[in-house]
Each structure stands twice: as C-alpha cells, then as structure tokens.
Amino acid sequence: MRIRTAATVLSGAVVLSALVLPGGAQAAEHPGTATDLRAFASQSVQPKDALGGTTFKNGVVNKGKDIVLGVTGKKAVPVTFTAFDEEGVAITQAFLWQGTDSSSTDTITGGLESDDYPTCTETPVQNGYSYSCKTVFTIDPAVAFKDGNGTAGTWKLFLGAYDLYANASYDDDVTRTKIKRAAKLTANASPEPVKKGKTITVTGKLSRANWTTGKYAGYATQPVKLQFRKKGSSTYTTLKTVKTSSTGTLSTTTKAGSDGYYRFVFAGTTTTGSATAPGDFVDVR
C-alpha cells in the first residue's frame, strides 16, 4: 500500500499544524484511520504536543551531497527517509529549515514550498509497519533566497507524521545538509607561445552567486590553487596557492618548462561551492 507525502521548504514556523493533506491526497486506508486529518491539523498542534509514536531515520538529502545553487534555474533535490510506527502511518511531511527552534517564527528561516506529492511504500514488519519514503524538493534560488545570502550554510531536515489515529510525531533534526552559493572560476595563461624558462602569467577571477542581486560577484581573499598538467598526462600538479583580490581577481607567475595546461582550483567554503577553471594550454618552444 502507498501513501502520499507533502514535501516542503517553507518560510515561517515549522509546526505540526502544517501537516495537512495535500489537495486530493487521501489518508492510508487502514482500519481505524482518522477520517479528518485536516480538521485535526487546524488545531495548531505544536511539536511539544506531539502524541504519536512514529520514528524516523536514514534521512538523506540530495544523495548526501551539498546543494549548490546558482542565480537562475530550478534544482531538483531528492530526499529519502524511513519511518516506523506500530499502528501505521497515515501521512508524512518533510521540511528543510534553519534556526534554533523549529516551532518559532523568530528562530527559523525557510524558502520555497514544493508542489510535489511523493510517496512512501509500506512494509509490514515485526511489531509494526516500516515505510520507505522518497520525495523531491524543487528549489528556485531566485525565489527562495532572493532576500539574502545569509541562508547559505547548514540546513536541517524536519520530518513529521500523523499515525492512523491522528496522533502527531516529529523529529526536527533527522539529518543535515548544506545549501551553498555556486562559484565560477576562470584562468588565462600567457604569453602563448613562450620560450622555455621564460615567465608565464596566469590570470583569472573567482566569482560566486549573489542570490539577492541575481548576479555573480567577485569572491574576495580566497585561497586558490594554481595547477599544471603536462601535455600527454591526465594528472594536474599543484604549483602554488594564491589569494583572490578584493574584487575576486587572480594573478600569479610561473616559469615555462614544457607544453601543458594551467588552471585554477577553488576548494569551496561552508557557504560556497567548489570551482575549477578549464585548463588553458601553453605551447613552450
């Protein structure tokens, strides 16, 4: 038997009163299923009032990878988790949230609400029912984070459920993920061609997504590696580490030894994704 799930990245308080049936969805048809979960949810049940015995585990957001967002385009973020209840689950719901108190509008930030209605698959097990659940958060940075870049960083996965008797359960920190601003990096090595032993200058720029302006802007004072790959090789070697300027630009020099490719590599930060510039070939004569 399958049940429906509402998946959400919400602004405002994350409370179990938000656990309402999505339009057209029905509660699991088990004997004893509560017939009016909407009415029950409207009673503004707070997490502290949760009465159910549903437990959650194995939460995975975006297949365990950071969520890296540019300034345009929607990103589909898969989420999976498992739930267990002795009597059975009627409906579940998921949120990504930031803050210190998932029930307070003063300590939580959020983003875009998803219209997806994912599913859970029920399996009878010893002492109850296990549910394997999957859903997708569709995040548009131009909408979800247009009011500020400060939301980049760690987010928590909130999972809640109603059992078949409309008792609520929740876990507001099942797992964590990072939502990061995308970065871009360029590299240009010159002169081309160059005599062996002469100086090569490699310039470039590191920029990152600014969700507020909808544009990319230079990322200042960040460590970036200059790497070289000899022609015919598949391996890059780090030559040195340099820092970006106050505007995100890069400029450094090295000696020409042999034909090959030069590139810059940025490892990323807690709020910004990694970036690698395409290799720029230099012919050494």
SS3 for 231-276 is: CCCCCCEEEEEEECCCCCEEEEEEECCCCEEEEEEECCCCCECCEE
Domain check: are 116 and 87 in the same one?
yes
Mean pLDDT of the chain: 81
CB 193 within 8 A of CB 285: yes
By C-alpha distance, which of 136, 141, 167 is closest to 152?
Answer: 141
Asked if residue 161 and residue 21 are part of one domain, the reply reads yes
Give the number of domains in the chain: 2
Listed residues 148, 180, 212: the one ending a domain? 180
pLDDT, position 97:
84
176 and 48 within one domain: yes
Domain that holds residue 255: 182-282
Could you tell me if 124 and 221 lie in one domain?
no
Tell whether 31 and 104 lie within a shared domain.
yes
Q: For position 96, what pLDDT does the model report?
A: 86
Q: Do residues 231 and 102 share a domain? A: no
This prediction's pTM: 0.82
CA distances to 56, 58, 79, 100, 115 from 175, in Å: 10, 8, 11, 15, 22
Q: What is the pLDDT of residues 144-202, one digit of tens each?
A: 888 789 889 999 988 888 888 888 888 889 999 999 999 999 999 999 999 999 999 99
Element (H, E) at 205: strand 199-210
Residue 116 confidence (pLDDT): 54
**Domain end (from 180, 211, 241):** 180
Same domain, 63 and 161: yes
Q: Cα torsion for 74, 65, 209, 200, to the nearest 10°?
A: -130
With the C-alpha atoms ordered 11, 98, 145, 25, is the resulting torsion angle positive or negative? negative
The verdict on 107 and 17 lying in the same domain is yes
CATH of the domain at 110: 2.60.40.10
Cα separations in angstroms, 211 against 165, 214, 216, 251? 43, 5, 9, 27
Please indicate, yes or no, whether residues 136 and 227 belong to a single structural domain of this protein: no
Cis, bond preceding 193 (omega within 30 deg of 0): yes
pLDDT tens sequence across 239-252: 999 999 999 999 99
Residue 28 — very low, low, confident or very high, per pLDDT cuts 50/70/90?
Answer: very low
Residue 221 has pLDDT above 80, yes or no: yes
Give the pLDDT of residue 36: 36
Residues 91 and 175 in one domain: yes
Rounded CA-CA distance 41/39 in Å is 5
Alpha-carbon span 136 to 76, nearest angstrom: 6
The answer on pLDDT for 102 being more than 60 is yes
80 and 32 belong to one structural domain? yes
Domain boundary pick from 180, 197, 226: 180
Q: Which of 13-17, 82-86, 250-254 has the highest mean pLDDT?
A: 250-254
